Amino acid sequence: MPERTDYPALIAGHTRVISMINSGEAGLPVLNRLLGVVEPAVGAAGLVWVELAPAGGRVIAATGSAEFVIGHPLPPTDPTTVCLLSGPPLREIPVDTIPGSLADELAGRGLHRMIVARAKVGGLTVGSLHALYPAGDRLDASQRAVIGYVAACIAHMYGDQSGLPVHGDGPVVAALADGLAVVDREHHVRLWNPAAVQVAGRPASEALNRPLPFPLPPSGQVLDHRLPDGRWLRITAGELPGPGALRVVTFRDITDQQRRDHDRDLFVAVTSHELRTPVTVIKGYADTLTDHWESLSDGDRRQAARIIGQRANELARLVDRLLTAATENRPGEQSAAPFDLAEALRTAVTDLPADVRHRVVLDLPADLPKALGDRHSVATVLTELSTNAGKYSLPDTPIEVSAEANERTVSLRVADRGIGIRPEHVERAFDRFWQGESGDRRRYPGAGLGLYLVRQIVEQQNGWVSLRPRAGGGTVAEVRLPRG
């Protein structure tokens, strides 16, 4: 570890990050590159970025020895979250003073010291940056200063809302209140309340005495308008009494409502599309058996019955996924108990669809310790991850299922050699109904529910799941559960 910050390397790397931003890149790819630049410059063993929202936090980026925590949730009432959000916004703390199992696992990996810097936008904490170090002397002041500076840079990225927050219910959007403006007959702004600054993203100095920065609907009517940053406003207007011909305009952020409406429409479109194929096939073969039973051979009848059974199984699985996604099960509703993960995986493989089962290659250690969770959910998790791997890779390539353990967790990995996943999609892939492609030209079918369900199931068992591109091509999905 360098005694002081390597400023030349930091400046050179930061320049490359700025070039990425200037070329139009945003979000997680830029964040990952920035962390990769800072880690060696400040001599850290690993860097972690936690994105915070009203519903809690989640590790969305990490490097070096801390990369294993990507995807780890931090609920708002978790002792670890409470500890990290208290105290000064920039501080150095021993890892063993942080409560919770995650800190124990960090210490077990030789990471004993941490610089924590919280990032704020408009007084709201949007995340925290963590630089992890092994045991040793007190860190140099320059290292703390750089971590604080980088946290401020990341906060600026959130303020721009270009690809961040990764999760749509981030605090920058959730805290917005209704805005109010008064405009004259030329539609120039005469009053701009504090909430308008937040809702429209424009300070009063740039709004007053200038044209209203969005369309003005007729009095008494409502207009939904999309801003350049992707957010939606619902705008209403009315006449103010008096001779000045002034109009009052109110506007509020309806991005979440638009997203819910979009999800509803997408649900209808996706389910109708995905249900139509198996139903059509089942009906077609059933009609064939009914209308041509006597003219069909025994082999033809068995083949038709086999296809009807396969398609019925697909239909039942899709309906089950839709119902599970609609119930929105919450953590804590399933009982956890120690179970043999290796044995559960071997059993689950036998129940996989035939076209996936023959491609699975198991690599399970004989001494794998027990995991703590719901044994019966392993079949669902493996089915979703392996069918997803099969969908995005060639039919004759293997799907590798492996497992390992450390002092705190037992993990399973499902890896393929398919088309891979883009870094900016590793979190979005867990959104409900999200598809890497859209429209009628999608090459890969599916309802966009599999990974969403996996995350729900795993986090109900105090575990976490993440995706990452695989070196040489393909994707690795990793699930970590507590040791039993």
pLDDT in tens, the chain (484 residues): 445 788 888 999 999 999 988 888 888 889 999 999 999 999 999 999 999 876 678 999 999 999 999 999 988 888 888 888 788 999 999 998 888 888 888 988 999 999 999 998 777 788 999 999 998 767 788 889 999 999 999 988 887 666 777 865 444 434 445 687 888 888 898 888 777 888 888 888 898 889 999 999 988 788 999 888 888 899 988 886 655 577 888 898 888 877 777 666 656 655 665 566 678 778 888 988 988 898 889 888 888 898 888 778 767 766 766 666 555 544 344 568 999 999 999 998 987 888 888 999 999 999 999 999 988 889 889 988 998 899 889 988 999 999 999 989 999 999 999 999 988 889 988 887 666 654 444 444 555 677 888 898 899 899 999 999 998 899 999 999 999 8
To the nearest 10°, report the CA torsion of 388, 390, 393, 397.
150
Interior/surface letters 30-56, b for 16+ CB within 10 angstroms, e for the rest: bbbbbbbbbbbbbbbbbbbbbbbbeeb
Which pLDDT belongs to residue 364? 94
The pLDDT value given to residue 327: 56
Closest CA to 465 of 76, 72, 167, 102: 72
| pLDDT given for residue 405 in this prediction | 94
In eight-state DSSP terms, residue 483 is B
Q: Which amino acid is at 447?
A: A
Across the beta sheet with 179-183, the strand order is 189-192, 179-183, 247-253, 232-239, 222-226
3-state secondary structure of 90: strand
Contact of 80 with 99, CB cutoff 8 Å: yes
Q: What are phi and psi of 448, to 5 degrees?
A: 75, 30
Please tell me whether residue 447 adopts helix, strand or coil conformation.
Answer: coil
pLDDT at 157: 86
